[in-house]
Structure 1
């Protein structure tokens, strides 16, 4: 079913804006509700309603909160139904015709336990069934509601923001420059390639059953990566110092300014905030706490020392080279090379990608690596797009961040850190929630600073 099949509902919502927030909440509730969520096209309905909200009818926070409340209520009602009726539910329609739905839900729940509540929100047919099964199998209510609320915070942006952005883009003409889209597509393509190669190589290193062999290989791979990134950083620095790339820097910056559009300006401000020191400190803090929870005290201390070292090298290079930024009033600090946003985001994105990838099946790991590399590249591109850094600044930041990550791999090899981590879902969910809230709080002021 597509948007044309629910066109009457969308037309009614366009004519009755006052009901839009309540309608989004009810659609999210039905989408999460057992049985009803299987039958009704909740995802399509949410996309259409979010598109209307993004056209200027509702602000993004009201839209997200409405969807969040509906998702929590939908899963909560399903859980209560499971607790009250237990095995009698198997006699309800449509389970009498499709008993495999409940069987698949139970298998999924037994395989993943309480985490299935979070996973289930994002996995097709089992999405509305898992809370019902959790109630049938007498999952502790307190644990269910904690996971229910936390996972709904991540679910709402994933299901609402795409439609909301489409609606917002319709208010801007043109919404996005075709040339910029081509550049972004190239970034995504190259990111996927490097991510799959990185994931493949890393998994081959981690594969031996003998942990000492795996540690030795990890140590050696870290040294090779350190040499490659170190040479790249030295080469880029030399080109910057002798001024060979000034013309290319200026040409790229001028071309990007020419291709600015209203929607892309807003998106790039939000992306560049991922690299802000406030947000990156949250990433570092969560990473250190996570290592401590996993009783890896030495690695937690090593991570803090390494980040301090990378930051120190970064500012020594900035002050020592004293390169001017593009003429943009957004940045009061003139030191340009290398980009601090890009450096820290590259290091921490690769760090999180490595640990999360270790906790999932090998076949899916390259996709996690790709997300980490794409985030780093998008933050770097946002610095170019907003004219607060030159191209060489971003390349230098990528090289320095990768150099720091290579040192981390060497450190892990020394400490024999080859075991899969524990509780990665909790780490990622907490990271997403806190980062999203911080970026949303910073965004209004940052938009004024960067865009005037």
Structure 2
């Protein structure tokens, strides 16, 4: 613990490689983070897309205790577990939004809650309608508050669940499979181990996923 650096909390690799008492708990931490992003309204500072991409790279390590003996099945099972936690997290976010009504729009800011993100998510929801639940999965910050907004505006539960399931499956399988198979491709074809370039990968994914949100925010200000 003496070597612990708080900056590690912003590094997705830290969670994947986490151990407790000599036992690797990375898989369970990852699943909790995916749930917390929407279910606990704490997702705006947690790694999302980059975490899933790295899960694909480290899938063999994460699935070591649950391995089926098939590489494809292991990666698919990992993506399915992440998808289920994403679905559950969104369901809790939707329920909370429906119960809280307009209360959140009047709530004061705190470390775990920023009202401006809620307004940005509402604008995004107003623009894309029910499909926002799917699109939001690939956007940090918006991903956290979109299901809450859906609950506040009382989006039909069946519609919400359809887009919730669809979005979670697309997000988890796309990001995890991309990480896994790009890692294998670079290693086999170019002899490049992407694990040595984790920082650059994380920065790249963060830029790609946040630029649309930043552009929308700046455009709104102008």
TM-score > 0.5, shorter chain as reference? yes
Query: Paired residue for 1:24?
Result: 30
Instruction: Give 1:64's match in structure 2, choosing from 44, 63, 79.
Output: 79
Q: How many Å apart are 1:22 and its aligned residue?
A: 3.3
2:91 is the counterpart of 1:76: yes
2:23, 2:182 → 1: CA distance? Answer: 20
Show the 5 A alignment for 1:365-404. Answer: none
Equivalent pair of 2:42/2:112 in contact (CA under 8 Å)? no
Instruction: Give 2:120's match in structure 1, choosing from 83, 104, 112.
Output: 104
2:132, 2:165 → 1: CA distance? Answer: 14
Query: Paired residue for 2:162?
Result: 146
Equivalent pair of 2:41/2:112 in contact (CA under 8 Å)? no
1:20, 1:9 → 2: CA distance? Answer: 6
2:119, 2:126 → 1: CA distance? Answer: 11
| Shift in CA distance, 7/103, structure 1 to aligned 2, threshold 3 Å | closer
| Shift in CA distance, 61/98, structure 1 to aligned 2, threshold 3 Å | closer
Query: Paired residue for 2:71?
Result: none
2:131 is the counterpart of 1:115: yes
Instruction: Give 2:104's match in structure 1, choosing from 86, 89, 97.
Output: 89
2:124, 2:12 → 1: CA distance? Answer: 31
1:130, 1:53 → 2: CA distance? Answer: 28
Aligned residues: 174
Equivalent pair of 1:79/1:131 in contact (CA under 8 Å)? yes
Equivalent pair of 2:83/2:172 in contact (CA under 8 Å)? yes
2:168, 2:102 → 1: CA distance? Answer: 27
Q: How many Å apart are 1:118 and its aligned residue?
A: 1.0
Show the 5 A alignment for 1:244-255. Answer: none
2:132 is the counterpart of 1:126: no
1:134, 1:45 → 2: CA distance? Answer: 25
2:188 is the counterpart of 1:175: yes
Show the 5 A alignment for 1:43-442. Answer: 43-55=49-61, 57=64, 58=67, 59-90=74-105, 91=107, 93-94=109-110, 98-165=114-181, 168=184, 174-177=187-190
Deviations 1:388-445 (Å, cap 9, x if unpaired)? xxxxxxxxxxxxxxxxxxxxxxxxxxxxxxxxxxxxxxxxxxxxxxxxxxxxxxxxxx
Deviations 1:364-405 (Å, cap 9, x if unpaired)? xxxxxxxxxxxxxxxxxxxxxxxxxxxxxxxxxxxxxxxxxx
Q: How many Å apart are 1:67 and its aligned residue?
A: 0.8
2:130, 2:171 → 1: CA distance? Answer: 16
Structure 1: gaps of 5 or more residues? 179-452
| Shift in CA distance, 63/155, structure 1 to aligned 2, threshold 3 Å | same
Q: How many Å apart are 1:6 and its aligned residue?
A: 5.0
2:28, 2:10 → 1: CA distance? Answer: 22
Select the structure with the greater relative contact order (CA < 8 A; seq sep ≥ 6). 2
Q: How many Å apart are 1:47 and its aligned residue?
A: 3.5
Query: Paired residue for 1:37?
Result: 43
Q: How many Å apart are 1:136 and its aligned residue?
A: 0.6
Deviations 1:263-286 (Å, cap 9, x if unpaired)? xxxxxxxxxxxxxxxxxxxxxxxx
| Shift in CA distance, 153/9, structure 1 to aligned 2, threshold 3 Å | closer
Equivalent pair of 1:31/1:40 in contact (CA under 8 Å)? yes
Structure 2: gaps of 5 or more residues? 1-6, 68-73, 192-222
